[in-house]
Structure 1
């Protein structure tokens, strides 16, 4: 029989002792709550289904997030992005509560607050991290009784898939201007790529941009590229570790080869390399991914300003879509769409690294006029 005793004026302590199980005790504000809890624990022990809840009841979400970041997140390739999500969770009031007290209603409330400020895909990524924290705690940290509140929460439908195309002056020269649709939903504009490259103050960004748009490689794959995996004669770059965990060989166009050849010649011409150069000798670029993103954003901003100055000087109305809403990842979109006009789908998946053709379709955005030309 469980023991119920009064402690102080407003507390009731319930104790359960049973052979073969550790003693359990918990304090409540009412006698009815204490009796209900004790009867539940005793019933579970009698049926052999009892599991300890003590760790889940004493571990706060903040503590679980810290342990998750140290033991799980740091081993992931996207640890930097996940660390940002963990930092966001640690700042909310929910982080102060024990894991066992967090319910799906709490998560749903947080979801609704975030949806007012962020796009559905961002909120989905945050929910995915929290879900993984609960699953790891339940499966690996001895909290078998813990339920995952994220599993019961309705997930927002992502509706922010990007279809942004980046125009190139070279590409535009091969098409009649009167055949192009200025109001295309993709917002492709002629010469954007060259303008961004010209406006860049970075010595490495132009080469990185050309390599991205010619090969469809991800930002992380480009900054991790090593010279020992680059075969300029065969025109192939080997990626031993990619986002999805599979190695792949990326064929390179003549322009991509020329870009890398120029970098290699410059590298080989160094007579007295510094210590940093020696440490990063095998990296093609030796720059962090976030630095690439910031350099690209600054170049786009400068290119847009130069374009506006030109329009005002010529007394022309600026195009509101030209050199706006551009992200570095759009280069992969653009490259995939260009390569799709050359390679069939099964070959394209090998180049871009997509395991599922349905995921590849998110990056393939052909121009309607290009498809129309293929019709007889």
Structure 2
């Protein structure tokens, strides 16, 4: 719909039509503005008619295409394939691509939040959102992205789980821990590496007393190795030939057996990086060099999770 307003002696025309960007133009004569507005509205109307003629595919077919053409090239393809498999079971995927609007996505979000963690729902919404972007930019479909028009799930405060010395000893030296998982856990604690980075270590990545990590969440990096980490890596078969899901499953089973509650494999990275700063007295910059973080705020707010008693001991020491 076109709106006209006089500003500084000239006529400004503003056109706002759902599904199209707001368009503005200024004219000396109002009649010229009205003619321009009618032409723009007619152009949009013709585009809508063209859209109605398009034979849009079902959303489930788009998901399969996205999986085969886009997901397959991602480092996180295994996890994303699993999420797409779950999405394909949802009723709304049987609708045509152009019929999926923000209301349908919002209903899916609310339904999913009743059974899943907010971060899990957010990951699923991210896949849907990227699919719509690809469909519009690369597959030639004239559609809007409905995910952009809904509120995203609010994530809880970052985890601050830190293992006790007793829990660490159980995980490493307990009789239920396999030698391979023991090595993986120790490397995580010695280096602060992510699970996926550890599982991709190859013998040629070890250079003197350092380790080159070619594929990471951010960018390739080279990290120093402790004597213990180097000893472990020199005495294991590399790569580990385990999937991330397999390691997480084994780790969770260990924690359940040893009665270690509310623990995840990624907590080992937090433990290591916190220890670098708290016990080894590394600076934030030095720790960032090892961890690969590009933003020091993440390191300070999440990983340097000093406990109240730590600070109390420090201020009361001589």
- Tell me the SS of whatever aligns to 2:83: helix
Q: 1:167 aligns with which of 157, 161, 164?
A: 164
Question: What CA distance in whole angstroms lies between the structure 2 residues aligned with 1:51 and 1:199?
Answer: 69
Aligned partner of 1:202 in structure 2 is 178
Q: More displaced, 252-261 or 120-129?
A: 252-261
Q: 1:192 aligns with which of 136, 144, 167?
A: 167
Residue 214 of structure 1 contacts residue 335 of structure 1 at CA under 8 Å; is this kept in 2?
yes
Shift of 1:61: 0.7
Aligned partner of 2:293 in structure 1 is 354
After superposition, the Cα gap between the structure-2 partners of 1:368 and 1:104, relative to the gap in structure 1 and judged at 3 Å, is same
The residue correspondences of 1:91-130 to structure 2 (distance < 5 A) are 91-130=89-128
After superposition, the Cα gap between the structure-2 partners of 1:163 and 1:45, relative to the gap in structure 1 and judged at 3 Å, is same
- Tell me the SS of whatever aligns to 2:222: strand
Q: 1:339 aligns with which of 263, 267, 276?
A: 276
Aligned partner of 1:300 in structure 2 is 255
Give ranges in structure 1 of 5+ residues lacking alignment.
1-41, 169-190, 268-282, 305-322
Question: What CA distance in whole angstroms lies between the structure 2 residues aligned with 1:200 and 1:261?
Answer: 23
- Tell me the SS of whatever aligns to 2:302: coil
Q: 2:148 aligns with which of 146, 151, 164?
A: 151
Larger relative contact order (Cα-Cα within 8 Å, sequence gap ≥ 6): 1
The residue correspondences of 1:1-376 to structure 2 (distance < 5 A) are 44-45=42-43, 52-53=50-51, 57-143=55-141, 145-159=142-156, 161-168=158-165, 191-197=166-172, 198-231=174-207, 234-244=208-218, 246-263=219-236, 283-304=238-259, 323-341=260-278, 342-360=281-299, 361-375=301-315
Residue 200 of structure 1 contacts residue 298 of structure 1 at CA under 8 Å; is this kept in 2?
no
Aligned length: 274
After superposition, the Cα gap between the structure-2 partners of 1:52 and 1:250, relative to the gap in structure 1 and judged at 3 Å, is farther
- Tell me the SS of whatever aligns to 1:237: strand
Residue 337 of structure 1 contacts residue 363 of structure 1 at CA under 8 Å; is this kept in 2?
yes
After superposition, the Cα gap between the structure-2 partners of 1:55 and 1:226, relative to the gap in structure 1 and judged at 3 Å, is farther
Compute the RMSD of aligned alpha carbons.
Answer: 2.3
Question: What CA distance in whole angstroms lies between the structure 1 residues aligned with 2:298 and 2:97?
Answer: 34
Residues 84-131 of structure 1 show CA distances to partners (whole Å, capped at 9, x for unaligned) of 221111111100001111110111111111111122111111111110
TM value normalised by structure 1: 0.68
Residue 199 of structure 1 contacts residue 303 of structure 1 at CA under 8 Å; is this kept in 2?
no
Residues 329-351 of structure 1 show CA distances to partners (whole Å, capped at 9, x for unaligned) of 11011111111222111221111
Question: What CA distance in whole angstroms lies between the structure 2 residues aligned with 1:356 and 1:51?
Answer: 48
Which of the two has higher C-alpha Rg? 1
